[in-house]
């Protein structure tokens, strides 16, 4: 490790001494009373001014160091975005696979550098488009995928060997991943060369988003089967994206998002080790997904603290030796929960500020929300503005010219240290409960988030927190905007395709593949090869999920 300048600590001490000797210390006593309290969006108290005195416990080498060097507070790459800009990965998906395929091609043509798939609610819950439960939801909040035939259409004309794809899906993630691999094989792409990310984070579903199928422990088995399979057959694929995004959207503070996300990561690492893997076999392909919220400095501090905490966790708790295992790589998305239906054009400004925070925090890829997403799926015009926001930050703002340009700020470093301390306090509580699954089963993270969401809402109602256009600066004449409408014919078309699929496929082969999957689930075989066999026989998502339900059961959240 390169050493910091020998004068760093003495310079800080000299600055402290000079500060204490200035008349400013005495003039503060004559300042008028402040209109407090001043807090971050997470209700964290903020001092009027930060000085070297707030960093008395700060150690240059331990807490800051240099970019690309442990503990990676300042970034995992020495050159930052000078070496490679972040991936601009806009989340997209709606209606039929044909419609989303058109949107993907539109985004790629307009400068997007990676795909990110949004699935509709039936797909996220493991239901086919023709299931009664799917009525009214097909294609509404994402693309409808019920079979390999749909996945083939979704990526028609898009070479999977040349594009990275992120897929935001959890409970049935491995079925969708099996379909993606089958499409890649049909295209002639080598699995060892394709790259992308599967969200596949079921613990945050129990905590926040509530889109589960199976109970936690069999769900963890599916995840570790994915770790094993990808390590051997798809080594460039990120087999999990441990997500704090949905935890934050549910009302968590920045520190809770950080702590619960990283503690979920610890649970997954331990599960992989318990499954017989060496930590360095799978840890290099773990990735993260964080929210980029409104409080500019708090968000930057969160990303910086995350890298530092993960480095020490992997090195000291798990004994990881591969340098790649020590790096926290993350995607970020601007905060959907911050968008307002009132004065929707204000959302462009919110998104720009949030995106800038994610970039200054050192994210590896970024999605910027569209101004109309609080009302509907984004229109082409709105999604283009969202993408252009990233491009303006990258090419016009100058923030990509140097690494961690705010590093060393008294305020930012204090926030980073405070965030780290709060995170470790939560770690200790969860470890004392027996781990994250035990904490979830007793409702601990759920209650913490509920309380934070409640306190923030009360602050909004008291106008201690101002939401422009909602509880202040209200206008009676909001500018109307056109929204993307998904009509009922999407469901009709998807049902018709499923009817034809079931008529034309080899149903005996489907039955054999499903029986084989059932037997493997009852034993301890890795389920990924069996899932691939099922989807290549054109078994549907719903049929596969139902087969696993027979073995694993269905999760029902207890009353806390």
Secondary structure tally for the chain: helices H, strands E: 21, 10
Q: Is 117 inside any structural domain?
A: yes
Measure the CA–CA gap between 102 and 88, rounded to whole angstroms.
18
- CB-based contacts of 521: which residues, under 8 Å, 6+ apart? 527, 547, 548, 551, 552
Domain range holding 333? 63-461
| pLDDT single digits (tens) 183-227 | 999 999 999 999 999 999 999 999 999 999 999 999 999 999 999
Asked if residue 469 belongs to a domain, the reply is: no
Whether residue 157 lies inside any domain: the answer is yes
Segments in 2-132 forming alpha helices (H): 8-21, 24-27, 97-109, 121-124
* Residue 537 falls inside a structural domain: no
Of 159, 225, 158, the C-alpha closest to 198 is: 225
End-to-end alpha carbon distance in the chain: 49
25's CB contacts (< 8 A; 6+ apart) are: 19
Question: 72: Cβ–Cβ under 8 A, 6 or more apart, which residues?
Answer: 65, 307, 308, 311, 326, 327, 328
Q: Is residue 548 situated within a structural domain? A: no
**Helix 444-461 and helix 410-433, axial crossing angle in degrees, nearest 10:** 140
For residue 475, is it within any domain? no
**pLDDT < 70 stretches in the chain:** 1-36, 60-61
Distances (CA, A) of 412 to 36, 300, 373, 407: 20, 8, 31, 7
Task: Please check whether residue 89 is in contact with residue 365, taking contact to mean a CB–CB distance below 8 angstroms.
Answer: yes
Distance CA 528, CA 531 (A): 5
Q: What is the CATH number of the domain that holds 291?
A: 3.20.20.240
Instruction: Name the phi and psi angles at 49, rounded to 5.
Output: -150, 145
Strand arrangement, sheet containing 240-243:
87-88, 365-367, 330-334, 286-292, 240-243
The total of structural domains in the chain comes to 1
- Between helix 254-274 and helix 296-312 the angle, nearest 10°, is 20
- The neighbour count for residue 35, using CB atoms within 10 Å, is 6
Q: For 125-144, how does the pLDDT look when each residue is reduced to its tens digit (9 = 90+)?
A: 999 999 999 999 999 999 99
Residue 110, pLDDT score: 87
pLDDT of amino acid 449: 97
Q: Model pTM?
A: 0.91
CA distance 316 to 10: 30
Kind plus residue range of the DSSP H or E element containing 550: helix 541-552
**C-alpha 157: how far from chain center:** 27
Question: For 473-518, what is each residue's pLDDT tens digit?
Answer: 998 877 778 777 778 899 999 999 999 999 999 999 999 999 999 9
Q: Is residue 509 part of a domain?
A: no
96 part of a folded domain = yes
pLDDT (0 to 100) of residue 55: 84
pLDDT at 559: 81
């Amino acid at each position: 490790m390169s050493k910091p300048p020998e004068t760093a600590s003495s310079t800080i001490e000299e600055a402290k001494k000079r500060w204490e000797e200035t008349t400013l210390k005495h003039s503060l006593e004559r300042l008028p009373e402040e209109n407090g309290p001043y807090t971050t969006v997470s209700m964290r108290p903020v001092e009027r001014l930060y000085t070297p005195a707030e960093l008395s416990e700060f150690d240059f080498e331990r807490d800051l160091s240099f970019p690309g060097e442990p503990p990676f507070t300042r970034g995992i790459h020495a050159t930052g975005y000078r070496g490679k800009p972040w991936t601009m990965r806009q989340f997209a998906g709606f209606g039929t696979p044909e419609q989303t395929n058109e949107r993907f091609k539109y985004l790629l043509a307009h400068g997007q550098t990676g795909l990110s798939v949004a699935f509709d609610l039936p797909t996220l819950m493991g239901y086919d488009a023709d299931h009664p439960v799917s009525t009214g939801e097909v294609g509404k909040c994402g693309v409808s995928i019920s079979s390999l035939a749909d996945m083939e259409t979704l990526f028609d004309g898009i070479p999977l060997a040349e594009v990275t794809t992120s897929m935001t899906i959890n409970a049935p993630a491995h079925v969708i991943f099996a379909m993606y691999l089958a499409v890649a094989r049909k295209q002639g792409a080598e699995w060892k060369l394709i790259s992308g990310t599967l969200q596949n984070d079921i613990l945050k579903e129990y905590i926040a988003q509530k889109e589960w199928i199976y109970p936690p422990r069999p769900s963890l088995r599916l995840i570790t089967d994915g770790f094993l399979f990808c390590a051997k057959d798809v080594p460039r694929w990120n087999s999990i994206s441990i997500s704090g995004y949905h935890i934050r959207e549910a009302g968590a503070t920045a520190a809770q998002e950080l702590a619960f996300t990283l503690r979920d990561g610890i649970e997954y690492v331990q599960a992989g080790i318990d499954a017989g893997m060496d930590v360095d076999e799978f840890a290099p392909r773990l990735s993260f997904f964080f929210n980029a919220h409104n409080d500019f400095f708090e968000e930057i501090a969160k990303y910086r603290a995350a890298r530092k905490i993960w480095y020490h966790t992997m090195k000291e708790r798990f004994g990881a030796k591969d340098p790649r295992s020590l790096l926290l790589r993350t995607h970020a998305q601007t905060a959907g929960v911050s968008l307002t239906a009132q004065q929707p054009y204000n959302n462009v400004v919110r998104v720009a500020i949030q995106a800038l925070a994610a970039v200054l925090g050192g994210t590896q890829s970024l999605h910027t929300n569209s101004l109309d997403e609080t009302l509907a799926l984004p229109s082409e015009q709105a999604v283009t503005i969202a993408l252009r926001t990233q491009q303006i930050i990258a090419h016009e703002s100058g923030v990509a010219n140097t690494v961690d340009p705010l590093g060393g700020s008294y305020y930012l470093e204090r926030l980073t240290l405070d965030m780290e301390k709060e995170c470790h306090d939560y770690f200790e509580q969860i470890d004392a409960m027996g781990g994250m699954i035990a904490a979830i089963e007793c409702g601990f993270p759920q209650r913490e988030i509920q309380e934070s969401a409640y306190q923030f809402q009360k602050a909004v109602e008291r106008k201690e927190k101002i939401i422009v256009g909602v509880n202040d600066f209200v206008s009676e004449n909001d500018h109307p905007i056109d929204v993307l409408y998904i009509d009922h014919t999407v469901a009709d078309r998807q049902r018709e395709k499923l009817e034809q699929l079931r008529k034309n496929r080899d149903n005996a082969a489907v039955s054999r593949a499903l029986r084989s999957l059932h037997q493997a689930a009852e034993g301890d075989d890795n389920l990924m090869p069996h899932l691939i066999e099922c989807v290549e026989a054109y078994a549907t998502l719903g049929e596969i999920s139902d087969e696993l339900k027979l073995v694993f059961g269905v999760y029902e959240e207890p009353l806390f």
